[in-house]
């Protein structure tokens, strides 16, 4: 039986094995392993790809968010408005710097921050908004930026799932005061270990992140401010430089696979991802919505198809957070989505045979259930 894992980062390594092995070997031979030419070049190349002025490589996406928030002036005790329909990392990063996450609801179509739910949450302590471009779908940045401007708030985009996504032809990551990316291996641009980056158009913000990522140093051994150790390493940067030129075409392949899934489940109870006007999704995850989630999941798994749930619990339903975050009492759309979500395999290395198999099993499920 064909077995199709839900995620397959090794397939991406194998797809570019020669270039990746050469890049790693070049880095090993250079004898320079931390903050050298590979990181500098990657930072320049990724900033250019996104159309922003600066990129600063850090240790992972959670740190990227934490350092970005600190660098735009979020301090302990400040409130940061974000969503509960996200990876726990979004909230962890806010709390990591002593700030207070406040939860707004999402829009059922984009599954991202619903701008209409922001204003009721703003207080004198609110300092920033963190929209998450969830599953690769851009959040409505123009409306969010307009509200931020009205209330004097900073905007830090969580782009961990949206490398290469666009709004009106402009890449996400270029809309906020700063933005955070993760290069976790299964991301659209994934390293072979942990990695992250902060991007911004502000020289001052970039310089602050550069200092904080390495003990607050302005020059070696001189700390200008308290800092941490969160550096993107040379080997990961070298790997990312190999993969970056393929990002747009990989994303296009993801979108075309999603369209095939969408066609396969057409007219059955499943609601497939909608394409939203003016935006280009990076299709990080292909998340369908089903009434009988367990039924679909089991049916696919019996046919060798791996699935996952993003996320089985929203942030405010997690034991570590429940009952203590402002906003958690009214998140109807977030809660509705978390009961129905099911993620299908979505990576550019899925073969034609695998995509056809997934499509045919999806269609079969719809027929069995009498919906098609």
Ligand X SMILES: Cc1ncc(COP(=O)(O)O)c(C=O)c1O
- In the complex, which residues of this chain contact ligand X (CB under 6 A)? 60-62, 65, 86-87, 89-90, 132, 158, 160-161, 182, 184, 194, 196
Residue 166 or 303 having the CB closest to ligand X = 166
Return d(Cα 154, Cα 86) in angstroms, integer.
Answer: 20
Q: Which of 167, 115, 109, 120 is nearest to 143 (CA)?
A: 115
Minimum distance from residue 93 beta carbon to ligand X (Å):
7
Whichever of 86 and 272 has its CB closer to ligand X, that residue is 86
CB of 2 to ligand X, least distance (A): 28
3-class DSSP state for residue 12? helix
> Of the two residues 153 and 159, which places its CB atom closer to ligand X in the complex?
159
Torsion (CA) 62, 63, 68, 73 in degrees, nearest 10: 110
Residue closer to ligand X, measured from CB, 309 or 372: 309
Closer residue to ligand X, CB minimum distance, 213 or 357? 213
- H/E segment holding residue 302: helix 293-302
Whole-number minimum distance, CB 237 to ligand X, in Å?
15
Contacts of 56 (CB under 8 A, 6+ apart): 43, 67, 197, 198, 199, 206, 209, 210, 213
CB of 116 to ligand X, least distance (A): 21
In the bound complex, what is the minimum distance in angstroms from residue 156's beta carbon to ligand X?
Answer: 11
Q: Which is nearer to ligand X, 133 or 297 (CB)?
A: 133
Residue 273 makes CB contacts below 8 A (sequence gap 6+) with: 135, 137, 258, 262, 281, 283, 286, 287, 288
Tokens found for residue 156: 């830090």
Q: How far apart are CA 275 and CA 280, in angstroms?
A: 8
Q: Which residues contact 235 (CB under 8 A, 6 or more apart)?
A: 24, 27, 28, 33, 38, 192, 193
What is the number of the residue whose Cβ is closest to ligand X?
A: 61
Task: Tell me how far apart the alpha carbons of residues 126 and 198 are, in angstroms, rounded to a whole number.
Answer: 22
Distance, CA of 176 to CA of 159 (rounded, Å): 11
Joined together, the tokens standing for residue 27 give 């880095």
Q: How far is the CB of 359 from ligand X (least distance, A)?
A: 26
Q: Please say which residue, 182 or 334, places its beta carbon nearer to ligand X.
A: 182
Minimal distance, residue 198 CB to ligand X, in Å: 12
Phi, psi (degrees; rounded to nearest 5) at 81: -85, 125
Whole-number CA gyration radius for the chain = 21
Provide the minimum distance between the beta carbon of 218 and ligand X in the complex, in angstroms, as a whole number.
26
Task: In angstroms, give the least distance from the CB of 144 to ligand X.
Answer: 16
Nearer to ligand X, 177 or 194 (CB): 194
Measuring CA to CA, which residue among 145, 131, 121, 122 is closest to residue 82?
131
* Closer by beta carbon to ligand X, 7 or else 269: 7
Q: How far apart are CA 109 and CA 86, in angstroms?
A: 15
């Amino acid at each position: 039986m064909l077995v199709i894992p839900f995620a397959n980062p090794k397939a991406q390594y194998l797809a570019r094995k020669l270039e990746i092995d050469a890049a790693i070997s070049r880095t090993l031979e250079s004898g320079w392993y931390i903050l050298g030419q590979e990181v500098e070049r990657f930072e320049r190349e990724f900033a250019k790809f996104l159309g922003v002025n600066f990129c600063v490589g850090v240790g992972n996406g959670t740190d990227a968010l934490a350092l970005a928030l600190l660098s735009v002036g979020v301090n302990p005790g400040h409130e940061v408005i974000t969503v509960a329909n996200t990876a726990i990392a979004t909230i962890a990063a806010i709390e990591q710097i002593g700030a207070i996450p406040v939860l707004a609801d999402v829009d059922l179509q984009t599954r991202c921050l619903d701008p209409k739910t922001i204003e009721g949450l703003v207080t004198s302590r609110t300092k920033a908004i963190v929209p998450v471009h969830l599953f690769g779908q851009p959040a409505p940045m123009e409306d969010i930026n307009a509200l931020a401007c009205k209330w004097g708030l900073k905007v830090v985009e969580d782009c961990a799932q949206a490398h290469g996504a666009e709004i009106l032809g402009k890449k996400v990551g270029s809309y906020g005061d700063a933005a955070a990316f993760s290069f976790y291996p299964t991301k659209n641009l994934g390293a072979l270990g942990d990695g992250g980056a902060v991007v911004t158009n502000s020289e001052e913000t970039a310089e602050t992140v550069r200092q904080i990522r390495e003990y607050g140093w302005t020059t070696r051994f001189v700390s200008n401010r308290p800092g941490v150790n969160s550096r993107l390493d040379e080997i990961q940067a070298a790997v990312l430089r190999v993969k970056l030129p393929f990002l747009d075409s990989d994303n296009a392949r993801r979108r075309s696979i999603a369209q095939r899934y969408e066609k396969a489940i057409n007219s059955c109870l499943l609601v497939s991802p909608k394409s939203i006007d003016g935006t280009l999704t990076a299709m990080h995850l292909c998340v369908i919505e089903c009434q009988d989630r367990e039924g679909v999941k089991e049916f696919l798994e019996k046919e060798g198809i791996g699935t996952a749930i993003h996320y089985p619990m929203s942030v405010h339903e997690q034991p570590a957070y429940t009952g203590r975050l402002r906003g958690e009492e009214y998140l109807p759309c977030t809660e509705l989505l978390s009961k129905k979500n099911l993620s299908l395999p979505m990576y550019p290395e899925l073969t034609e045979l695998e995509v056809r198999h997934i499509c045919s099993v999806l269609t079969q499920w719809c027929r069995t259930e009498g919906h098609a």
